[in-house]
Amino acid sequence: MLGNFSYVNATKLYFGDDSLKYLNDELPKYGENVMLIYGGGSIKKNGIYDDVVSILKKNGKNIVEDGGVMPNPTVEKLRDGVAKAKENNVDLLLAVGGGSCCDYAKAVSVSVNCDEDPWDKYYIRFEEPTCEIVPVGCVLTMAGTGSEMNGGAVITNHDEKLKIGHVFGEEVMPKFSILNPKYTMSLPKRQMTAGIYDIFNHICEQYFSGDDDNTSDYLAEALMKSVIKSSLVAIDNPEDYEARSNIMWSATWALNTLISRGKSTDWMVHMLGQSAGAYTDATHGLTLAAVSLPYYKYILPYGLHKFKRFATEVWGINPEGKSDDQIAKEGLDAMADWMEKIGVKVTLGELGATEDMIEGIADGTIILEGGYKVLSRGEVVQIIKESM
C-alpha cells in the first residue's frame, strides 16, 4: 500500500543532443547578472564552456565567472561563492558541470541573501531558507547524482571531518536543467562508472525499505534494469548514445523524489559513504560502492523478502528449489559480479581510508531509521571494518 503524499517537481528539463539551444529560451526570464559556475576545467577542454558563454553573450548577459568548484565542494568554496554572488548582485546561478556544481549552486542560492553562516544554518542546524533564494539553472555534464532535478546540496567541511547533505524543498530545485547525453562522453571511465553506481544505489536506498506492494518499487526495479543493461553497453562503447541517454535519464528519475513517494526509504549506504568521503575526499559513487556489499549482506536477514524479490526481479535469479536465503544471497552475488564488471568493486582502504579513521567515520555516520534495521554504533563500526 502506498502511504499518503504530495508530489511536485519544479524543474523544467530539456533533454537531447541539441538541448543547449533552449538556454536561449530560459535566459530572458532572468536579470542580466549571471554567475557561471563550473568545476576544474573539463568544460573548457570539451568545448561546453565556449558554447555556453556564446549563448550568454548573445543574450546580453553580464558573466560573473565562478570556476574551480571541486568534486565534493567545500564549505570554504561555498563561503567564497556566496561573497562573490553578493558583490555582483547576481540574478541567476548557472551551474555547468556535474552534481558538485549543481549542489554548490543550490547552497549558494539559499545563502546569498542570508547573513548567517551557511554551514551552521543549513548543515548543522538543518534550518530551511528564510531569505530570498537566487534562482539556479543547470547544464549537466555528468550523470549520477540527480542534482539536476532535486533539492539536494551536499557540502564537505574538512576541518570538522563532516560531509553533509541538506535536501531543500521545491523552491531551491533548479528552475531548469539542460541534459545532453553527449556531454557525458568526455568523462573518464572511472567517473562514468562511479556515477553509474551512484544512480544504482540511489534506487536501492529507496527500494530496500518497507514491505508493501507499491508502484514505487516496480518503478525502481525498471530503473535498475535499465541502468544495469546500459552500463554494460557504455563500458564497452562509451560513445553509445542510446546507453548514455538511458543512463542520464535514469539518473534523473532515480533521485528526483518520484520513486520515494508513499514509502519509507533507507539511505544508510549514503550516510556511511558520505562519512568515509569526509575523511578520504574520495569520489562519491566509489565510497558508496565500498560500503554497499558489507551493509547489504548485514541487513539481508532483516529484509529477506525484499532481497529475494531483488534477486528474482532485478537479477533474474531462478528461485526453483532454493531457500529464500539462498535466492537473496545469489541476488547480492549477481550485484557483486556486475560491480566487478563495471570496475566499481572497491574497498575503503583502496579509497584512502586507514584503520585509525574507523572510529571517526563511525562518529560522522548519521544513523537513519527508515531501513530494515536501525544500526547501533557497534554495527556501524563493524560494517566500516568489513568495507576496509
Q: Which residues bind ligand NZQ (CB under 6 A)?
A: 39-43, 46, 71-72, 97-101, 103, 141-142, 144-147, 150, 152, 154, 165, 183-184, 186-187, 191, 195, 198, 255, 270, 284
- Residue 157 pairs with which residues in a beta bridge? 162
Q: Residue 363 CB, nearest distance to ligand NZQ (Å)?
A: 19
CA atoms within 13 A on the CB side of 345: 12
Distance of CA 277 to the CA centre of its chain: 13
CA distances from 255 to 12, 252, 375 (A): 15, 6, 24
Q: Residue 181 CB, nearest distance to ligand NZQ (Å)?
A: 10
d(CA 144, CA 167): 16
Q: Convert residues 267-306 into a mask of x (bound to Zn ion by CB under 5 A) and - (unbound).
A: ----------------------------------------
Interacting partner of 56 out of ligand NZQ, Zn ion, none (Cβ under 5 to 8 A depending on kind)? none
The CB density around residue 289, as the number of other CB atoms within 10 Å, is 29
Does residue 151 sit in helix, strand or coil? Answer: coil
The CB density around residue 185, as the number of other CB atoms within 10 Å, is 16
**Grid cell of 280 as nine digits:** 578520504
Q: Residue 10 CB, nearest distance to ligand NZQ (Å)?
A: 14
CA distances from 259 to 135, 152, 219, 254, 373 (A): 25, 16, 7, 7, 21
CA angle, residues 278, 345, 72, in degrees to nearest 5: 25
> Contacts with Zn ion: how many residues (CB under 5 A)?
1
Q: Residue 151 CB, nearest distance to ligand NZQ (Å)?
A: 8
Interacting partner of 33 out of ligand NZQ, Zn ion, none (Cβ under 5 to 8 A depending on kind)? none
Q: Residue 270 CB, nearest distance to Zn ion (Å)?
A: 6
Interacting partner of 47 out of ligand NZQ, Zn ion, none (Cβ under 5 to 8 A depending on kind)? none
CA distances from 146 to 22, 98, 304 (A): 20, 9, 28
Question: Are 19 and 141 within 8 A, CB to CB?
Answer: no
Interacting partner of 287 out of Zn ion, ligand NZQ, none (Cβ under 5 to 8 A depending on kind)? none
Interacting partner of 42 out of Zn ion, ligand NZQ, none (Cβ under 5 to 8 A depending on kind)? ligand NZQ
* Cβ-based nearer residue to Zn ion, 95 or 134: 95
* Residue of 51, 198, 205, 330 that binds Zn ion (CB under 5 A): 198
Q: Residue 165 CB, nearest distance to ligand NZQ (Å)?
A: 6
Q: Residue 45 CB, nearest distance to ligand NZQ (Å)?
A: 7
* Cβ-based nearer residue to ligand NZQ, 20 or 317: 20
* Cβ-based nearer residue to Zn ion, 20 or 289: 289
- Binding positions for Zn ion, 344-373, rule CB under 5 A: none
Q: Residue 116 CB, nearest distance to ligand NZQ (Å)?
A: 22
* Cβ-based nearer residue to ligand NZQ, 149 or 327: 149
Question: Are 383 and 375 within 8 A, CB to CB?
Answer: yes
- 115 contacts: CB under 8 Å, gap ≥ 6: none
Q: Fill in the amino acid letter for 89.
A: N
Q: What letter would DSSP give residue 132?
A: P
Q: Which residues would be at the binding site for Zn ion (CB under 5 A)?
A: 198
